[in-house]
Amino acid sequence: MNQVKAIRQRYQIKRPEFAALLGVSVRTLEGWESGRFTPSGAAKKLLQVIGASHEAFAQLQRFKGEEQMIELERDPEALTIMGVPFATKSNYEATVSAIANNMFEGYQPTVEDVQYFAEDHKQPINPTEALARVRQAKRVKTNG
């Protein structure tokens, strides 16, 4: 069976909805499923990701239109996020991952949040724990 069709059928989604999630026409999707041609570029990568991860597919479904695009100001060469510099590449990458994953849930980071992540904690960043601390600090500021 064609891999594109297998992915769609595994998620029990109709062609029009799947095509819309991938940002392609139904005709293009039909072409991929029939084997007349194959996906390439970003579509190929996206199919690989959602084919390998139910979580990735679920997150993709949360974004129905372009108005829900998420953008995080960052510079991987300078190791900065929202203008805040990071001392190590590993903490920079962990922070990008933590923030981006939580932005899918509606989290909007502030410069203060990013500064917290950039502080030298003398240990690797635990993204879940760090975001919980940031959120708790915000609750204390709001309530106190």
| CATH number listed for the domain at residues 3-66 | 1.10.260.40
Query: How sure is the predictor about 50, in pLDDT bands with cuts at 50, 70 and 90?
Result: very high
Q: Structure tokens of 86?
A: 């990071």
User: 26 with 15: CB under 8 angstroms?
Assistant: yes
What residues have CB less than 8 Å from 6, skipping those under 6 apart?
none
User: 78 with 85: CB under 8 angstroms?
Assistant: yes
Query: How sure is the predictor about 98, in pLDDT bands with cuts at 50, 70 and 90?
Result: confident
Amino acid identity, position 41? G
How confident is the model over 53-87, as pLDDT tens digits? 888 888 788 766 545 555 788 898 999 999 999 98
Could you state, in order of their start, the residue ranges of all structural domains in the chain? 3-66, 70-143
Considering the entire predicted model, what is its pTM? 0.48
Helix axes 89-103, 127-143, angle to 10 degrees: 60
Chain mean pLDDT for the chain:
81
